[in-house]
Amino acid sequence: MKLNQQFLKLHSLYGSLESAVVTLDELAGRLECTHRNATNIIRKMSDNGWIAWDAYRGRGRRSTLRFLVQPEEIAVQSMMQAINRKDMSQAIEQIRAHRRSSTLQEHLQGWLLSYFGHHSEIKSDKQIDTLRIPIRQKLHTFDPLYMNLLAESFVSSHVFDGLARRTDKPDEILPAIAHAWEADESRTVWTFHLRKEVLFHHGKIMTAEDVVYSFERLIRSSRRTLYSFIYKPIKSVRALTPTTVRFELEEPNELFLPFLCTSRAAIVPKDLGQMGTGRFGSMPMGTGPFKVTEMSESVCVLEVFAPYFQARAHLDRVEIVHVPWETENSHGEVLSPFHVIHSPSAAEVNWSQIHSGTTIRKFVTCNTKKAGPLNDPTVRAHVLDCLRGSDTNQPAVVPPNNEGDRVLQIATIPQYRQDAEALAQSLEHSGYACKVVSPSPEEFKGDIRLESDLIVFSLIRDQDEQLRLFDLYLTIAEHVDAHNRIDIGNILAAAVKEPDARVRAAHLKHVEESLIRDHHLCILSERPLPTAYLPSVRGVTFNSQGWVNLRTIWFPPVME
């Protein structure tokens, strides 16, 4: 790898000349090495056929250097070596290093894109279909209890199953690990009947005891996790038989069944404790159509689990590669794993785009529980107007003073720091002093929100939207005044008992309207979540979050 970089550096210095007249000492200076090392480098390049070196003996004597290969060839070799080592950071760095050469950058970028997508090979008379997917997010864990990122949930949804599952049709819920269920008249007792002989990836048969363990693990956890308002009020979960599980809820909750379709409610093996939580997070054992066979900082490899109870997946292998490719419009977690194309021209030629119907809504909320200027509704209204861009030329209602108590702290997660800084800049134009903090997603769940004035985040509007909205409004209720907190609580309490999804949606819309009216919530933007895919792909469906479902896609053979 180092020799490749040294060649490219020399070519950038002397490649414009038909032949360069230099000394070894000059080359050593350019390469930042000794005279002896420069001699070895030139010899190796000459042996590889990359250069012609007409040497003149004697220290300080000038020699002739000619280049015999194009830099594109060496740059691609260097990038291929990085990819073979699963070092995508180095591969991307090859492209960044050649930004000045648009031709070379496009060549490298095109080769990198060709590395991803569908690849087929014959091994032992069997066709092995591999799909390589680049993602921008770095994967940390697939444990349903510890996941924070959408990319982690995407992988987890193919490794684990829940008791029930969603389809790509709105509000449709079908059996998964449970083949049937019923609720009593009070809607607080739910009984699930499990499929027989469903296998975990390590060969153990899944039973009702595994289901009980999975939910008790959630209930006992002290972590602040998504949808805890659903599983914390579970009064009990019991195994009636090896294939029958009964849940008793403290109160009726019509979002209980939709929650069972989420990755958070995935069924894990009861013997998880023997593996250790950390190891289970990187090498999980689920019942899903794919099992994790490799996990590192840059790549996660999934291989098909042939005994899967809902029919074998068409793909044999999926390589999910972390590509730290930053663009001006990068939004971190909101990007589909297939949507990573940096060059619009490459997208137009090689890829097609479809939309899953999922959108991303960015918003900012005000923390009025914290003593400060935002307790005044007039100030809140003006601040939010500034963020919308409708009052950017008006002075601050409450100018900042030298004591620092008028500095507005804006909290967000690292993925949205750039958005938060743009909002801070807008407010500063109107005279508000601002400070942006972006703790980790885990820290963001803690006290940092209550210590801040404004909170920037996003909402995925997908099939789990009502679950997400409930979770969001319960969080917002923690940092609004008592009057609004009581109103939000009453509306949500009525909505959660409502069996009609359309009526629940109306209740949630009422909460949104009241928060906007009282200047607690400002919706900044909403955009669709795009998904790009190869033209030859078949069986494209989406999971509840609008990401491509690897369980169903397949690629027809290329006919000669």
57 with 167, same domain: the answer is no
367 with 501, same domain: the answer is yes
Give the Cα separation of 89 and 192 in Å (integer). 46
**Pick from 90, 70, 65, 67: nearest CA to 80:** 90
- Token readout for 315 is 């793909």
Report the relative pairing of strands 317-322 and 434-437 from DSSP bridges: unpaired
365 with 485, same domain: the answer is yes
Give the Cα separation of 392 and 403 in Å (integer). 24
Give the Cα separation of 423 and 456 in Å (integer). 9
Contacts of residue 139, defined as CB under 8 A and 6 or more positions apart, other chains included, come to 149, 151, 152, 155, 295, 300, 320, 322
Give the Cα separation of 387 and 381 in Å (integer). 10
- pLDDT for 12 equals 81
- pLDDT for 394 equals 54
The answer to whether residue 290 sits within a structural domain is no
| Block residue for tokens 């419009």 | 329
Residue 334 carries which DSSP code?
A: G
Helices (H), 99-202: 102-115, 150-159
- pLDDT for 345 equals 40
Q: What is the CATH number of the domain that holds 204?
A: 3.90.76.10
- Token readout for 243 is 């294939």
**Pick from 253, 255, 212: nearest CA to 236:** 212
Q: What is the CATH number of the domain that holds 30?
A: 1.10.10.10
380 with 500, same domain: the answer is yes
Contacts of residue 66, defined as CB under 8 A and 6 or more positions apart, other chains included, come to 18, 19, 20, 51, 52, 54
Q: What is the CATH number of the domain that holds 464?
A: 3.10.105.10
The total domain count for the chain is 3
pTM exceeds 0.85, yes or no: no
The answer to whether residue 548 sits within a structural domain is no
Last residue of a domain, one of 257, 272, 287: 272
Structural domain harbouring 465? 360-527
Give the Cα separation of 414 and 491 in Å (integer). 32
- pLDDT for 111 equals 67
CB 505 within 8 A of CB 468: no
The answer to whether residue 75 sits within a structural domain is no
- pLDDT for 251 equals 94
190 with 57, same domain: the answer is no
389 with 516, same domain: the answer is yes
392 with 511, same domain: the answer is yes
The answer to whether residue 321 sits within a structural domain is no
Which H, E and C letters describe 300-363, residue by residue?
Answer: EEEEECCCCCCCCCCCCEEEEEECCCCCCCCCHHHCCCCCCCCCHHHHHHHCEEEEEEEEEEEE
**Pick from 146, 179, 142, 501: nearest CA to 293:** 142
- pLDDT for 371 equals 86
The answer to whether residue 180 sits within a structural domain is yes
The answer to whether residue 277 sits within a structural domain is no
Residue 101 carries which DSSP code?
A: -
Last residue of a domain, one of 272, 305, 334: 272
Residue 284, SS3?
coil
60, exposed or middle or buried, with CB in 10 Å at 0-12, 13-18, 19+? exposed
**Where are any strands of DSSP class E within 15-163?**
20-22, 51-54, 63-67, 117-123, 126-135
Tens-of-pLDDT digits for all 560 residues of the chain?
A: 578 878 888 888 888 788 888 888 888 888 888 888 888 988 999 898 898 988 776 555 688 889 988 877 777 777 777 776 666 666 666 666 655 555 666 666 666 666 777 888 888 888 899 988 888 778 899 999 998 888 899 899 999 999 999 887 778 899 999 999 999 999 999 999 999 999 999 999 999 999 999 999 999 998 878 899 999 999 999 999 999 999 999 999 999 999 999 999 999 999 987 777 678 999 999 999 999 999 988 889 999 999 999 999 999 999 988 876 554 333 433 333 343 333 334 444 445 556 667 888 999 999 998 888 898 999 999 999 988 875 545 555 554 444 445 789 999 998 899 999 999 999 998 888 999 999 988 788 888 888 999 999 998 888 899 999 999 999 999 888 888 899 999 999 999 999 999 999 999 999 999 999 999 999 999 987 766 555 567 777 777 777 778 898 888 876 65
Give the Cα separation of 161 and 177 in Å (integer). 7
The answer to whether residue 495 sits within a structural domain is yes
Query: Sheet harboring 454-461: ordered strands across?
Result: 434-437, 408-411, 454-461, 352-366, 521-533
Give the Cα separation of 546 and 100 in Å (integer). 37
| Block residue for tokens 């928060």 | 515
The answer to whether residue 384 sits within a structural domain is yes
Last residue of a domain, one of 228, 243, 272: 272
61 with 167, same domain: the answer is no
The alpha-carbon radius of gyration of the chain (Å, integer) is 28
CB 148 within 8 A of CB 281: no
- pLDDT for 342 equals 31
Q: How far is CA 385 from the centre of its chain?
A: 31
